[in-house]
Amino acid sequence: GEKIDSENLYLFYHMHGITLDMLGKPKEAIKAFKKGIEVNPNFHLLHYSLAITSLNVGDSDQGMISLQNAVLTNFEHSSSHLLLGNLYRSNGNTIPAILAYTYFLFYESDTPRSDEVFQLINESFDSSERDTTTNEINITLNALFGNSQDNEQMNGLGTVIALHSVSSKYKKEGEQLSEIEFLVENYEYMLNLLGETQEDYEEKGFVREFYVPYLVQVKEAGYLETLVYLLFEHSNYEGVKEWIINDCVKCEEFYEWTPGE
């Protein structure tokens, strides 16, 4: 196999790596995946498989890099966005996680996995709980603080968003936004902050370079609410389907809109 001079040699390395991994030989599998990437660095499944095996042996740095490469070589591969979101989330980097989950929904919005992602995004934004006995609001900031390794240059924005989520959820005494209204409000606030700080970094991390710009353009074009409703169409959140039906003209406008216009 390795002696065959073929443009499809990378496929052999991929299958060989998967087989080695299944046989309990992750180090050999990683070598096979890396050889395959040398042959064809644009095959996203090599990067994705390398990420999975690397994460399984505890190498989260390689896992992160490989998932980002998987996204860059095939932006429509929903599983790469999902696993990247899970990795960001496990590292305490919640804003990058929300953005990765958002792009997952672009390509997979009506499956059991998307049901989980709807909940993960909601939980990530929702950092407060109201005590029904005392009516006091308790804020859980640790989920949005992020860790000390701010590789994606969020610069503490998670804390600001966490505090905002409280005021947006309970904007009036006794009045609470619906789940979808809460999400729209917090997407708007998050992307405002990200857009305002985007030019603060000459060298942008993966999230700021590849995840943030399009969503900021959507917001600036006035289509963010439409996008959120469309992404959460299959969430069973109250009022979503009705909104889409009633605002179908806005949806058509968004479908025809081109970034940069």
Q: Are 254 and 227 in contact (CB under 8 A)?
A: yes
| H helical segments located in the chain | 9-22, 26-39, 44-56, 60-73, 78-90, 94-107, 112-125, 142-145, 157-169, 179-197, 206, 212-220, 224-231, 240-246, 248-256
Residue 233 has pLDDT above 60, yes or no: yes
Q: 1-74: CATH homologous superfamily?
A: Tetratricopeptide repeat domain (1.25.40.10)
Q: Are 43 and 32 in contact (CB under 8 A)?
A: no
- For 6, counting Cβ atoms within 10 Å of its Cβ (0-12 exposed, 13-18 middle, 19+ buried), the class is exposed
User: What band does 204 get if pLDDT is binned at 50, 70 and 90?
Assistant: confident
CA 207/CA 94 separation, integer angstroms: 12
Q: 138-158 pLDDT, tens per residue?
A: 434 333 333 434 455 555 555
Going from N- to C-terminal start, the domains of the chain cover: 1-74, 103-256
Question: What single-letter DSSP state applies at residue 200?
Answer: G
Q: Are 143 and 124 in contact (CB under 8 A)?
A: yes
Q: 30-78 pLDDT, tens per residue?
A: 999 999 999 999 999 999 999 999 999 999 999 999 999 999 999 999 9
CA 259/CA 261 separation, integer angstroms: 6
